[in-house]
Amino acid sequence: MNKILAPSILAADFSNLAQQIRMAEMGGADWIHCDIMDGKFVPNISFGPIIVNTVKGITKLPVDVHLMIQRPDDFLVEFVNAGADYITVHQEEVVHLNRTINRIKELGANAGVVLNPSTPVSTLSEILDIVDMILIMSVNPGFGGQKFIESSLNKIKFLDSIRNEKGYKYLIEIDGGVGPDNINKISEAGCDVFVAGSSVFGADNISAAAMELKNLLNK
């Protein structure tokens, strides 16, 4: 399948959000990634369903919503109604993960699970056959602009090998410290979806930055 670039609006200028998203689209962005933080699960606060709904009104691209929040089950309906095409929840926070994954699907969105850097892939062994996407955090969640954690590559390779062996259909997504210097080796490890925040929206030319990453992925 084609590799997917999903710029994160966490690094965007919210006073010019529509223009910035359109510039990312012009550069070849495939999805728009929304990082939802509540100041409890992670030590920062970002935005909620209203901004997701705003993004949905700006773009026709799939909207990828990453819930870094406590009690995500309480907010699934709100985010699906806001326009989320993908919703990922943290393994570390959700107690009844099988139920949550199935609930997201029942609501009409694609369901994903996120692993923090210190959480092993083995914790997902019982839901790999039903999940649509697995998001590997390659930084500790809560803040943008952090350095990529190299051991994340081993998780991607392991998930890719299991997928090939068992015939599973999940996408593998990476978030944190992704840029021109490392996107190729992340891709070669078996990653499908690449979240890039500051390396796209933090650039002087958003379209050119997105295009550079897409060109690297298409090599």
Domain range annotation of the chain: 4-217
Is 85 annotated in the active site? Answer: no
3-class secondary-structure state, position 118: coil
- The predicted model scores a pTM of 0.94
Instruction: In whole angstroms, give the CA distance from residue 104 to residue 16.
Output: 31
Asked whether 64 and 96 are in contact (CB, 8 A), the reply is: no
Among the listed residues 30, 64, 132, 175, the single catalytic one is 175
In this structure, what is the dihedral angle of CA atoms 126, 102, 172, 10, given to the nearest 10 degrees? -130
Q: What are the C-alpha distances in Å from 173 to residues 23, 31, 88, 132, 181?
A: 22, 12, 10, 11, 18
Instruction: In whole angstroms, give the CA distance from residue 43 to residue 96.
Output: 24
Mean pLDDT, all residues of the chain = 92
Percent of the chain at pLDDT above 90?
Answer: 78
Res. 143 pLDDT band, cuts 50 70 90: low
Question: Can you tell me which residue has the tokens 């909207």?
Answer: 63
Res. 49 pLDDT band, cuts 50 70 90: confident
What six digits make up the tokens of 108?
A: 């009409």
Res. 176 pLDDT band, cuts 50 70 90: confident
Res. 181 pLDDT band, cuts 50 70 90: very high
Among the listed residues 35, 64, 132, 192, the single catalytic one is 35
Q: Which residues lie across from 36 on neighbouring strands?
A: 67
Is 175 annotated in the active site? Answer: yes
Instruction: In whole angstroms, give the CA distance from residue 18 to residue 193.
Output: 22
CB-based contacts of 3, cutoff 8 Å, min separation 6:
187, 191, 192, 193, 194, 217, 218
What's the CATH class of domain 4-217?
Answer: alpha beta
For 95-131, the pLDDT digits (tens) are 899 999 999 999 999 999 999 998 999 999 999 999 9
